[in-house]
Structure 1
Amino acid sequence: MSAPPRLPAAPAAFPRRCAAWSLDMMLPLLAALALCAGRMADGVARASAAFDALVRSMAQAMVDLLGAGATPLDLARRWLDDPAQRTVTTALSDAIVATVFPPLLLAALLALAWFVAFEASPWQATPGKRALGLRVTGTGGRRIGIARAALRHLAGALSWITLNLGHLLALLPPRRQALHDRVAGTQVTQAPGIGGRLPAWAIAWLCLQAVLAIAMTGWLFLAAHTAMQRAFDALL
């Protein structure tokens, strides 16, 4: 009896690619956070102090100008022209950069090694892609080498700096190639027969990320509101 014909690999669905990428980024990101923990703690302390100073300065300017009958436009001009405001704003910006940049840079370097090594391997996939039935291939499904895998990963910067429009190109049929895939001449395919629906655990993983993003946004808003309230309470 002859073997059944082998189904061709289909272009990967966009949600499946997102879930796989976020899984793969966990290890480089956690490693970078652990290695930069001390530097980040110092940066967070500096950022917190600079933010409190900025809020106090803004609150003081608001009380002074509104007490003198100034308009909101006058207040905005005061904030923009006041050297003290620029000083505390610069201090806050420097503290944020010192907190965020080192772990991001280290995570990017670790991710480069992770993605290139696995996608150029006989697996043709990172562990996250492999868990979801994905492969990164060249023309005709052939394995890509280290140079092309590196080009694909580095070209991913173009997809990010285009405000993710480069990633959204992966939604377009028929080949569903993101911008970095087009640059590198690669394609992400999914195993035949797995369909477009994500497994339940991958859906839960994506939902968890959305919940955490919303929670973080809410926490930042509440922290800013609390700091502003403390500043006004100290002045009034």
Structure 2
Amino acid sequence: MDDAPPPKSDHSKLRLIDAMPRPLLVLFLVAGVVAVVAALVFIIHPPEFSTVPVQERRPPPRGALTHNVGKLAPAPVSSAAATLPPACAAFSTTVLRVGPAGAVRLRQALVDLCRLSHGGVPADLTIAIKGLGTSTIRFAGFQLAGVESTADLATRTVWLNLKFSESNLPVEQVAPVLVHEGWHLAHPGDAVTADQELGARRAEVAACRELMDVSKWPRWCNDARALTDLPAARAIALLVSAGYTR
């Protein structure tokens, strides 16, 4: 059987390059190199949430929610959810409406707060821990995915971003987020104003300091510190600029 003739070489692309004026060819090659380098930089160093001003990373309230998260999609809860004993007396009436693995993680986060519930910590933190009593904690997907949490003041439900259900995120990073919402729940009759939000940030950063070495702080701990380190009037002005009422 005769061998098939080899395919004819297509020199059209080579002819196109040869036909290019040399300056245009150099520009074409440089643009290609720049595009490749830019792609590598994007992959190795993706854009960070830090480009959002610190006062805007926790949006102002919306309706009964302490923070606007856009559309909120509750994580499904199995009817056979595990029943765990309370983390301690301070959280004897706190309900964890999550799956078995999530319940273990959240209970451990509450255990971290148990030893702080006996006093000897800043007053803002003590108030926030008490605010978590009689609350329900759940996971949800947020349309505004960068927001850590929100709380429904009408139902006393703390909604945590789904990322906190993931095992690759250290459980000690969850407690300060719970404390933040606990502060709001401790003031159910108050509007979430700039001043009240600053109080939640103070409680949050206090929990960060008590539970973690500063070198291991997640972004939300550093955000809370950035605001609370400012003079109160300046911090409140920044929160007002982000949409909180005065």
TM > 0.5 fold call: no
Q: TM-score range by the shorter chain?
A: under 0.3
The structure number with the bigger radius of gyration is 2
Q: Which has the higher strand share?
A: 2
TM normalised by structure 1 equals: 0.26
Q: Which has the bigger relative contact order, CA under 8 A and spacing at least 6?
A: 1
TM normalised by structure 2 equals: 0.26
